[in-house]
Amino acid sequence: MNTTSDHPSYTDDELAEFDVTVLLRYGLTAAPGPRRTALFGDGAAAAAVILDRLGTQPRSVAFLAEVVRAGGLAYAAELPEPLPRPEAATVVRDWLEAATQLAAGAPADEAAARWLGAVATIIEVKHLTRARTARN
């Protein structure tokens, strides 16, 4: 962790160790501020690292975000395969179930959908960066 600035930076290995479930529990329904920022910043980056390492495609996470937006967290948490890869499905199902326990209704569903959209975007950036690096 970089302790010389107000904005710490983490390696992918450090992000992979974050407890995304806890960040969701405390950040999803939080008012704008540090908890929400942690969820949408470090939490989204951590989730992206975890899912990327499990071979998840960004479009799968983006699709899941739309499912959450349309059907809600509870509906998405009950899907037999919220993501195509079994390991990723298990991880994301745990996150969805934790978010569902908040029982915060439509505002939490929308926040979770936006968060999943952010995770998908970060995974996409990681893929594009790797492809660009491989070409050089």
Tell me the pLDDT band of 102, cut-offs 50, 70 and 90.
Answer: confident
Name the helix (H) or strand (E) containing 120. Answer: helix 105-135
Beta strands in the chain (DSSP E): none
- Comparing C-alpha atoms, which of 104, 126, 101, 100 is closest to residue 44? 126
Tell me the pLDDT band of 104, cut-offs 50, 70 and 90.
Answer: confident
When pLDDT is averaged across residues 78-83 and rounded to a whole number, the result is: 94
Q: What is this structure's pTM? A: 0.90
Q: Which amino acid is at 45?
A: A
Q: Please report the DSSP string for 65-80 in residue order.
A: HHHHHHH-HHHHHT-S
**Backbone Cα Rg of the chain:** 15
- Residue 78 pLDDT more than 70? yes
Tell me the pLDDT band of 3, cut-offs 50, 70 and 90.
Answer: very low
**In the block, which residue shows the tokens 């529990």?**
25
